Structure 1
């Protein structure tokens, strides 16, 4: 599997870079932060992304999407990372679309995917309940009720939960908390009776919500996948999100590096450009090598998902862990090498650090994925 882009993929990368630089640059992120925007993104930007085909990148052409793959989705995410562009790309175009494509019935796909690809329906994954990522620590209960189920529980951290029209809720139909078996995924209208949402303030100013479900009634037709067998689907969907986040963090790290190198070429100290100082050259060279390693790991993970490689989960965890560590290193070095100005809010580099930290924690940090890797290879 060659770790290079095709001509079509390079065109998508160029289109994404141009779009986000024009429509959702870092200045737009700052504007949303300063306004205290509760959603964390502009709906007009999302609509424009849908017109570009980004919202439907994973949606089959039969349902109005672009019918592309994870490599193409990763290129969009990387461009978003470079510009700190805020949009429900991860929650809807990746997680939501993957869940419906992989586990949805024909009726569910027909009802949701065309609207998602058109930018007219937003989806949020309501899975995690623990303080740190633990996808099978599910205490939310789904009890039989008539022809369906009654959902009760709390999801303390749901990305784009305030903006979502539909929630994909992981609930337990059987077993004890922490069991892999007994988890079921449900499609729940966000405005259903018994659903309450409250904003969660994020360090990176993105949209998130605490969602409580109090006796929410759902029909049997709202089950996504098999009753009691949702763990495998949930893991597959999360891997799509993890790979997408790795690509976004690659963009965050790359832009941080690029801005830092530019600064080293401009800033003078002791009558010399600080980029001529050997110690800073060594640090920049080391960071460049780390970025290339993260890029290879991320492209491998995205390609493996597209190819249906049985080792895709392993590559995804490797990419998520590596990209998270490199994004942390890149943003730390950026602030350090910018000196005192890097610590000020007037300078943009701090925004990259905040996004890197939040993205690295989302759906498992390097420790989580290091442990997952170890288990997959038999340790």
Structure 2
């Protein structure tokens, strides 16, 4: 199989990397990440004008890409710049709407691509422990309307989102109870709907998230995305692209962290010579470079398998998330140790890359979760 990027993807990567290097330097990024909004609306629209968001969707839904390698190229570049704008949730929610949304909901994708609307995935719940099928938020019928009640945690950009994609259980009397994959439905909820409240907070790796409370939120019948009770398949499909995106983002961050560390080893001197000439440090760095290439292979494999049958696709995605989670944490730890005390300082970009690598591991399931999932998927396929 040929894993070389097409000319269009290479041009996209070059344009995006150049834009980030020239317009989204670390000082700019740090200011945006610590702002009251947690991202820049102006910068978000500039990314949209550059065509970056459109690369995440296929032509049928107003984009010009949408394949696994398109997603990987974009997020690898975003990882290199520690970009905090809401690309991940835009991808996940947009993919869910493209997969199962009605005609009106799919029209929303155009507003995502041009940057005029912000969306967020409201799925994780307190105590869910990364189990995607554990949903306790309830949606009940009241006449021709749906009423939602529950709570969602760690909703990215919740304060600024125009729409929330909320998972809720519409069927409760099932053998698996609150863990049953059946009986889960998805709803498109305006953030300003009556009964929706958000408690925002700053994230340790930059940007903002929020806790969302749904207290008797009334929605019309058209708010449901897809078929009632069959939302889990759509959720798994959409978050699969999110797993690929996070793995690629981690890879981009690892590449930059590697370059910072190599440069430091070449310039920092001890006993009159660069510390990179010490054999012990050379061995540690060589091991790290091999690990990063292993992570790169897992991302390529996941991108190639994104359209494969379910078991093959999900195993490849979990393998990539496990690999980049484990290796990303090691890259963060080793790079800081090789830098010494300066590696921990706020002023050095390296410390921010290290924090982001650690936090990527915890989004959409950490390495332990995905290792167990990979094993379970293999057993079910046998």
Q: If the length of structure 1 is used for normalisation, what is the TM-score?
A: 0.95
Partner of 2:196: 195
Question: Which residue of the partner structure matches residue 217 of structure 2?
Answer: 216
CA change 1:203–1:96 in 2 (3 A) is same
Checking the alignment, whether the CA contact within 8 Å between 2:57 and 2:65 is kept in structure 1 is yes
**Structure 2 unaligned runs (5+)?**
none
Aligned counterpart in structure 2 of residue 151 of structure 1, from 145, 148, 153:
148
Conserved 8 A contact 2:336-2:344: yes
1:109 alignment counterpart: 106
Q: Count the aligned residue pairs.
A: 375
Instruction: Classify 1:47/1:289 alpha carbon distance in 2 versus 1 (closer, same or farther; 3 Å).
Output: same
Cα distance in 2 between the residues matched to 1:299 and 1:309? 17
Aligned ranges for residues 77-92 of structure 1 at < 5 Å? Answer: 77-92=75-90
Partner of 1:229: 230
- Computed over aligned residues only, the root mean square deviation of the Cα atoms, in angstroms, reads 1.5
Q: Residue 21 of structure 2 aligns with which residue?
A: 21
Match of 2:282 in 1: 281
- Quick one: distance in 1 between partners of 2:25 and 2:89? 20
> C-alpha distance in 1, partners of 2:49/2:183?
39
Alignment of 1:133-148 (within 5 A): 133-148=130-145
Once the two structures are superposed, what CA deviation does each residue of 1:117-147 show, in whole Å capped at 9, x if it has no partner? Answer: 1100111110010343221111100010121
Is residue 38–residue 202 contact of structure 2 (8 Å, CA) maintained in 1? no
> In 2, are the aligned partners of 1:71 and 1:306 still within 8 Å (CA)?
no
Relative to 1, partners in 2 of residues 1:316 and 1:62: Cα closer, same or farther, differing over 3 Å? Answer: closer
- Runs of 4+ in structure 1 deviating by more than 6 angstroms, as ranges, are none
CA distance in structure 1 between the aligned counterparts of 2:5 and 2:311, rounded to whole angstroms: 22
Match of 1:6 in 2: 6
Match of 1:161 in 2: 158
* CA 190–331 in structure 1, closer or farther in 2 if over 3 Å, else same: same
Matched-pair contact (CA < 8 Å) for 1:193–1:216: yes
Distance 2:146 2:218 in 1: 6
Q: CA deviation at 1:263?
A: 0.7
Give the Cα–Cα distance (whole angstroms) in 2 for the partners of residues 328 and 52 of structure 1. 32
CA drift of 1:76 comes to 1.4
Q: Could you list the runs of 5+ residues in structure 1 that have no partner in the other structure? A: none
Provide the C-alpha distance between the structure 1 equivalents of 2:181 and 2:282, rounded to a whole number of angstroms: 48
Cα offsets for 1:102-127 (capped at 9, x unmatched): 111222112x0111111001111100
Scaled by the length of structure 2, the TM-score of the pair is 0.94
Go from structure 1 to structure 2 and tell me whether the alpha carbon gap of 1:133 and 1:365 turns closer, same or farther (over 3 Å shift): same
